């Protein structure tokens, strides 16, 4: 991922907008007063981090760490989070304080639109990633899109993205829907930039299917989908917790790295509480939780996920994603992909 420049903007959520003052001289007097943030006891987080990870690793620790704040977690795919935020911003009734998803382009746009609160966490000084210059959003994790192979069903695994077009893999391949998963959208964008839309036309002709993420993981574990385009963390977890006989293929052309960020909505009703939660996620404790959930942490001194390829090696050999381009053309990419794969 290296340097994601200050241009990257995000779309974060905000809990209720505090009511403005009245008119006339009373309004003038209010403007002259120092703004005081009323103590808030709740935070709402929209995130694409897996529900299991939130429930098992984040929620219990955060409840101990931030005893004075009740944190409400809403977990769903990045694209669904983006849609929810867009709808809420349009209605003027944004419900969340913090957003945590894997889509740099989304943060880029929301920073441009002035929707994010600038906050430079003291924990950000020890990150192995470059943070946004204004503190609008901060890197929190890294994920890699790879090829997963079920060893009981596939004797000669593919070595590259292009190998998936080989007729010997016909009817074996599944991938998540880029309308739901930002990581899948990143993969579509990266591979289209490299091979053109013809790649997806050929993959469809080779029997590839688009599946709901949870369903795809379940069917992969059973061998019903012998090959999947998926996240490295999914396969690591299935191998470790379910004993799935699987191999992670890091394609010859490069895996696709997708950074995840955290940001506070500018109009958050509880900005101080939100800052504390950002600090926790960026602390060694929060970053260790990321690693235990098989995602690559971004803080120095925190171990990589067990069984994962070293992040530096992933970076050296990866397919790039034009995040600025994807931020503008994401809708068209999703529509074109859906048209091919229907």
Distance of CA 158 to the CA centre of its chain: 26
List Cα–Cα distances, 128 to 100, 108, 123, in angstroms. Answer: 18, 20, 11
pLDDT of residue 140: 94
Task: Map residue 55 onto helix, strand or coil.
Answer: helix
Mean pLDDT confidence for 300-319: 92
- pLDDT digit string (tens) for 85-96? 988 888 888 888
DSSP string, 222-250: HTSS-EEEEEHHHHHHHHHHH---EEEE-
24-142+258-316: which CATH number, 3.40.190.10, 3.40.50.720, 2.130.10.10, 3.90.1300.10?
A: 3.40.190.10
Mean pLDDT confidence for 288-312: 92
Checking if the pLDDT of 263 tops 90, the result is yes
Checking if the pLDDT of 5 tops 50, the result is no
At how many degrees (to 10) do helices 78-91 and 104-112 cross? 20
- How far is 165 from 196, CA to CA, in rounded Å? 14
Task: Map residue 263 onto helix, strand or coil.
Answer: strand
Please list the residue range(s) of the chain that carry CATH number 3.40.190.10. Answer: 24-142+258-316, 144-256+321-341
- The DSSP bridge partners found for residue 26 are none
Domain 144-256+321-341 has CATH 3.30.559.10: no
Check if the beta carbon of residue 235 is closer than 8 Å to that of residue 241. Answer: no
User: To which residue do tokens 């003291």 refer?
Assistant: 122
Distance of CA 44 to the CA centre of its chain: 17
Q: Is 41 exposed, middle or buried (0-12, 13-18, 19+ CB in 10 A)?
A: exposed
Checking if the pLDDT of 6 tops 90, the result is no
Q: Which two tokens stand for residue 282?
A: 């960026």
Whether this model's pTM surpasses 0.75: yes
Question: For 9, left (φ over 0), alpha (ψ -120 to 50), or beta?
Answer: beta
Q: Which two tokens stand for residue 240?
A: 């470790």
């Amino acid at each position: 991922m290296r340097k994601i420049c200050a241009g990257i903007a995000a779309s974060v959520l905000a809990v209720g907008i505090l009511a403005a003052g009245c008119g006339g001289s009373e309004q003038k007097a209010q403007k002259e007063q120092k703004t005081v943030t009323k103590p808030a006891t709740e935070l709402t987080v929209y995130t694409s981090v897996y529900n299991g990870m939130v429930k098992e690793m984040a929620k219990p620790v955060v409840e101990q760490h931030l005893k004075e704040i009740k944190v409400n977690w809403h977990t769903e795919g990045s694209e669904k989070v983006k849609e929810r935020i867009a709808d809420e911003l349009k209605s003027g009734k944004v419900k969340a304080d913090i957003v945590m998803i894997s889509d740099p382009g989304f943060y880029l746009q929301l920073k441009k639109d002035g929707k994010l609160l600038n906050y430079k966490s003291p924990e950000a000084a020890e990150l192995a990633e470059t943070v946004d210059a204004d503190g609008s959003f901060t890197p929190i994790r890294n994920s890699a899109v790879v090829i997963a192979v079920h060893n009981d069903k596939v004797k000669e695994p593919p070595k590259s993205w292009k190998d998936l077009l080989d007729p010997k893999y016909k009817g074996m391949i599944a991938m998540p829907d880029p309308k739901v998963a930002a990581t899948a959208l990143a993969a579509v964008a990266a591979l289209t930039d490299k091979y053109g839309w013809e790649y997806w036309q050929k993959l469809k002709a080779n029997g590839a299917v688009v599946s709901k993420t949870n369903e795809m993981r379940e069917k992969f574990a059973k061998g019903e989908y012998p090959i999947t385009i998926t996240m490295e963390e999914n396969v690591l977890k299935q191998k470790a917790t379910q004993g799935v006989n699987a191999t992670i293929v890091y394609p010859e052309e490069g895996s696709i790295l997708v950074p995840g960020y955290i940001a506070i909505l500018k109009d958050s009703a509880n900005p101080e509480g939100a800052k504390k939660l950002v600090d926790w996620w960026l602390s060694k404790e929060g970053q260790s939780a990321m690693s235990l959930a098989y995602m690559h942490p971004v803080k120095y001194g925190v171990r990589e996920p067990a069984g994962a390829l070293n992040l530096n090696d992933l970076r050296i050999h990866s397919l790039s994603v034009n995040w600025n381009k994807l931020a503008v053309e994401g809708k068209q990419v999703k529509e074109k992909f859906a048209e091919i794969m229907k």
